[in-house]
Structure 1
Amino acid sequence: MVARRNFMRTIAVALAGSMLSSMAGAAPMPQAPGKDRPNIVVILVDDMGFSDFSSYGGEIPTPNIDALADNGLRFTQFYNNARCSPTRAALLTGLNPHQAGMGYLSGKVEPESRGTFGRLHERSVTIAQLLRGSGYMTAMTGKWHLGNRPGTTAATRGFDRSLSAVAGGIYFPDQTFGTRGGRRFLLRDGERIELNDPSLGKDWYGTDLWTDEGIRYIDEAREEKKPFFLYLAHVAPHFPLMAPQADIERFVGNYREGWTKLRAARFKRQQEMGLIGPNTGLGEVPEAADDWDALSEADKTRFDRMMAVYAATISRVDQSVGRLTAHLKATGQFDNTLILIMSDNGGNAESGPRGRTGAAPWGGPSSDTWAGMNWAVLQNTPFRSFKHFTHEGGIATPLIAHWPAGIAANLRGRLERTPAHVIDIMPTLLELTGTRYPETFAGHAILPYEGTTLAPLLRGNPAKRDKPIFWAHEGNNAVRDGQWKAVKRLGYSWQLFDMSADRTERNDLAKEQPARLAAMSSTWDQWAERTYVDPWTDEPRRTDWGAPIGGGAQAEDRPRRPRRRRRN
């Protein structure tokens, strides 16, 4: 079976290389010398706030991730796309989500839409497809969420090896919540396997499973003497929050101080680290948030336990990073492996202030634990708002870049303050690996990537961004142009913030600078038209497979929405 698998992979790589080199007008792909081409690991966590790693101010111990931050670059203004599928699409394609076909969630289709197909569109190509054609062994583990139908999975989007969940929420083989729809099974190299499949072992925990499988794929690449690209997309800390009970118990009692005091403590550490300016204030808290001091002791115990479950999922991710880096060191690959760690959106407030718990023990395979809005305010310290929204709490993410062979010693441990976005990952990896971006792929015209390479930052040089950064999700829109950010929530007017002085978006300058705001909102309109952003008025109702999965009502108040208007 292994021999046949390797043979089929060799054929697939050969075909991909042939396809790339036969493109009309395509020059041969430039490649860096084999010994200099880095291995690449991209680690994506799910629904994690800006401040949850201890290297970003959190109280959750993350020593293995912190070690990478201390010896790499720690970005202070890196952005995602406020939601899982749109971020993943931009990460893998270098396009804005609607351009890549993922204007909303995986499997959600809007008829007549230009950008909401529920899958990656043929006008996009993934970094895995390009790196495979450039001689890399490509692998993916964890949450896919970029297509559910045959032909839309990781196995058909450039990954030689994959063990994936088509959606999130899978932590244990015997869990009873969150296994509806696409969560009942996994896909190994595109083929369905059940959660209790013997090949997965017994009593696995999802974070460990994705990591251990990724390590196996790394070893396969080493046997084949190829550089590798591993996309490790954790489910944690997405709802329903689950972790081994021993990990949860380590954190029980740590959150009895409540979210207000813990947020202030995180904020103080962030300022001491230099992540946030000394004159910056904390972002606003929704009126619906609870006053910790007014809670009953029973409620405090409940909330403490809920956040302990969340903290345990983060801790377990850190442990898995430690196991991965230890393996890279043991096999002599650590120094020439670029590791990137980020989150797909900000902390999740979808379950409202009270969160959810479900069956006891909370955090176990039969529970339904969501941390809720109160704790999401803490997770997103110091920012306002949450997942779904384009204020900083919804889109600001840690980005840690570690690469001993590629980041100069005098830069290690540096705070990188350049604003950057997940669409920048594609051009960065292309430059570092000497891989060309095509005009066509597999017979389809490919849109030019939208991002800017961040490779100069790894050498201590400035990155040259020639256009603003844009967002559009569920009618929540934003544009960042240098120090200025214009942001608009669905049903509300545009706001304007000077991010150099007001990163937490406390002082709206819309009335003071109407001309600047009008110009920026007009620029957003032009971008939206160019990148297939449909006017948003309602959630897509059609799915391209079975029952809808995931999601949930947005936590913040918002107007009732009429049906989507069609563009003529």
Structure 2
Amino acid sequence: MTRLSRQIITAAITTLPLMAAAPSVAQVSQPNIIYLLVDNWGWGDIGLQGSIVPTPEIDALAAQGMRFLNFNIENQCTPTRSAIHTGRLPIRSGTQKVAAPGEPDGLAPWEYTIAELLSDAGYKTALFGKWHIGSQVGRHPSDQGYDEWWGINEGSNAAAYTSTAEFDPAVAATPHFWQGKKGAPSYETELYDIAGKTTFDRKITDRAVDYIQRNADAEDPFFLYVGFTQFHPPWVVHPEFDGVSGAGYYSDIKYEVDHNIGRILETLETANAAENTIVILTGDNGPGTLPQGLGYATGEVGGSTGPWRGALSTGYEGGLRTPGMIRWPGEIQPGVVTNEIISVLDIYPTLATLVGASDRIPTDRPIDGIDQSAFLLGNQETSNRQHIVTFVGDDVFAVKWRDLKVHFLVAEATFSEIKRLTFPQVYNVKEDPAEQFELWGNEGFSHAWVMTPVTKILTDLTQSMADFPNIQPGQDFSGYE
């Protein structure tokens, strides 16, 4: 076992205790909110979690608030973005996977997003960067609660389409940047290609900085969603950071990501808005692995999952845990590190509660997110969540309950085959973060009992989906009777 592995396991076992004195009740009822989302980000890609490339700006942010060692997202870009915006399992919304070009996609306009909720609660709203939960006009950010937006409507990889020798614009749409404002159709702007992606995250950051400066002193609070495209392929880096690490493009990108996040945080400080702003920073899924190798990502090149097994589009922890942190000065205690289970689904109800708008959470549909506000504010020492159900596409791959993980289907890497197991596989992810020692078989069925809580979780979910049938991808859904 390496020293890093021992450190990570120790950190995962021993959560820093909360101080006895709970933070005060929020002095400002409606703080600004900034959500920073990094694309294809490995758990081990920040300095505090083992990166050999320094990330001082991100590390400083983590130290100023609460850092989650057990922050769980969905298995791909689209599902995670859907979960953030709706608080609902993506399969309920028809957004359980990244749609291939030409396939139906996007949130149904009926979905009530966090941007719509906050807008109705008096917030100004903006999105800059990657959307990826609705490529068609009518399903863009400005149709789902954002006052203004600029970025791309589909996956980051679209930048590379026109660089392929076989690309034919007569049969496939040429990718462009888009922008729009609430109340009007969004429209295409400049070409989105390799050159465009090279400077994309810099332009996202520029727009975020400008937005903060314009709105820091405004009467109404703001919700700013920043969807970075790093570290998603095509792997390009802004010229300012090309070669800066001396270790290749992926390490160069780490410098770029850290710098851009630092600029946004610095702008909050200079605009005297930091004290009244909730800042959330997470990834959308773990790093991908290349099809030539069926192992799992373990090093700096291509993303580090730290001690965790698996990658993007697998049911293992390396694809489902990303860096996660939240800062709210004066309300969320700084320097807290926790191994309590948190889901990206929880963002929706937690933010609604923190800003006093929980009464706006819909009651006519299942909301799978759980309000974690009491935990974040230090009013309780444990998370309100004990399990995570992991879908990959239409299938339940795994259920994590407390420290035990039960796998039903497995894929070792992003592009590998899917295997159906004769018996479920069980791992203790606290004691065995690499999910290497299988308990069900190796310990003579002694862990079969864990199927009791897991079966109840899946039975309840199946009944819920029978009562509220899942929306199909691209469906024009208008509500439950």
TM-score (normalizing by structure 1): 0.67
2-structure distance, mates of 1:130, 1:417: 29
Q: 1:435 aligns with which of 357, 366, 370?
A: 357
2-structure distance, mates of 1:413, 1:41: 20
Contact kept in structure 1, 2:297 and 2:310, CA below 8 Å? no
Q: 2:34 aligns with which of 25, 30, 41?
A: 41
Q: Which amino acid aligns with 2:432?
A: D
Q: How far does the alpha carbon of each residue in 1:137-185 deviate from its partner, in whole angstroms, 9 at most, with x for none?
A: 1111111110111111101000111112012337989984699746333
Aligned pairs for 1:113-512 (under 5 A) are 118-122=105-109, 124-169=111-156, 176=163, 181=173, 183-189=175-181, 190-195=185-190, 205-222=199-216, 224-252=218-246, 254=247, 308-353=248-293, 379-408=304-333, 412-438=334-360, 446-460=364-378, 461-465=380-384, 468-474=387-393, 475=395, 477-488=397-408, 489=410, 490-493=418-421, 494-511=424-441, 512=445
Q: How far does the alpha carbon of each residue in 1:229-260 deviate from its partner, in whole angstroms, 9 at most, with x for none?
A: 111010111000111344131122x3xxxxxx
2-structure distance, mates of 1:439, 1:174: 39
Deviation at 1:108, TM superposition (A): 7.2
Which has the larger Rg? Answer: 1
Q: Which amino acid aligns with 1:465?
A: N
1-structure distance, mates of 2:152, 2:463: 32
Identify the range of structure 1 (187-196 vs 373-382) with the bigger mean alpha-carbon deviation: 373-382
Secondary structure in 2 matching 1:249: coil
Query: 1:240/1:452 Cα in 2 relative to 1: closer, same or farther (>3 Å)?
Result: same
Structure 2 counterpart of 1:522: 455
2-structure distance, mates of 1:384, 1:174: 31
Query: 1:145/1:459 Cα in 2 relative to 1: closer, same or farther (>3 Å)?
Result: same
**RMSD (Å), alpha carbons:** 3.4
Structure 1 counterpart of 2:9: none
Contact kept in structure 2, 1:106 and 1:147, CA below 8 Å? no
Query: 1:313/1:333 Cα in 2 relative to 1: closer, same or farther (>3 Å)?
Result: same
Contact kept in structure 2, 1:122 and 1:446, CA below 8 Å? no
Contact kept in structure 2, 1:496 and 1:508, CA below 8 Å? yes
Contact kept in structure 2, 1:248 and 1:311, CA below 8 Å? no
Deviation at 1:123, TM superposition (A): 5.2
Q: 1:83 aligns with which of 76, 88, 91?
A: 76
Q: Which amino acid aligns with 1:492?
A: R
Secondary structure in 2 matching 1:346: coil
Q: Which amino acid aligns with 1:150?
A: V
2-structure distance, mates of 1:143, 1:205: 14
Q: How far does the alpha carbon of each residue in 1:379-413 deviate from its partner, in whole angstroms, 9 at most, with x for none?
A: 112111110011111101110111213223xxx12
1-structure distance, mates of 2:209, 2:449: 50
Secondary structure in 1 matching 2:310: coil
Structure 2: which 5+ runs fail to align?
1-24, 411-417, 467-471, 476-481
Secondary structure in 1 matching 2:251: helix
Structure 1 counterpart of 2:469: none
Q: Which amino acid aligns with 2:81?
A: R
Q: How far does the alpha carbon of each residue in 1:350-406 deviate from its partner, in whole angstroms, 9 at most, with x for none?
A: 443499xxxxxxxxxxxxxxx989756861121111100111111011101112132
Structure 2 counterpart of 1:551: none
1-structure distance, mates of 2:160, 2:352: 37
Q: How far does the alpha carbon of each residue in 1:96-154 deviate from its partner, in whole angstroms, 9 at most, with x for none?
A: 111122122246798xxxxxx62113553111000000001111111111011111110
Deviation at 1:543, TM superposition (A): 8.4
Deviation at 1:451, TM superposition (A): 1.4
Identify the range of structure 1 (208-217 vs 136-145) with the bigger mean alpha-carbon deviation: 208-217
Q: How far does the alpha carbon of each residue in 1:278-319 deviate from its partner, in whole angstroms, 9 at most, with x for none?
A: xxxxxxxxxxxxxxxxxxxxxxxxxxxxxx211222221111
2-structure distance, mates of 1:482, 1:423: 17
TM-score (normalizing by structure 2): 0.78
2-structure distance, mates of 1:499, 1:514: 14
Q: Which amino acid aligns with 2:255?
A: S
Deviation at 1:203, TM superposition (A): 10
Q: Which amino acid aligns with 1:433?
A: V
Query: 1:230/1:491 Cα in 2 relative to 1: closer, same or farther (>3 Å)?
Result: same
2-structure distance, mates of 1:403, 1:171: 35
Query: How many matched pairs?
Result: 421
Q: Which amino acid aligns with 2:47?
A: S
1-structure distance, mates of 2:254, 2:159: 16
Structure 1: which 5+ runs fail to align?
1-31, 111-116, 255-307, 356-370, 534-539, 545-568
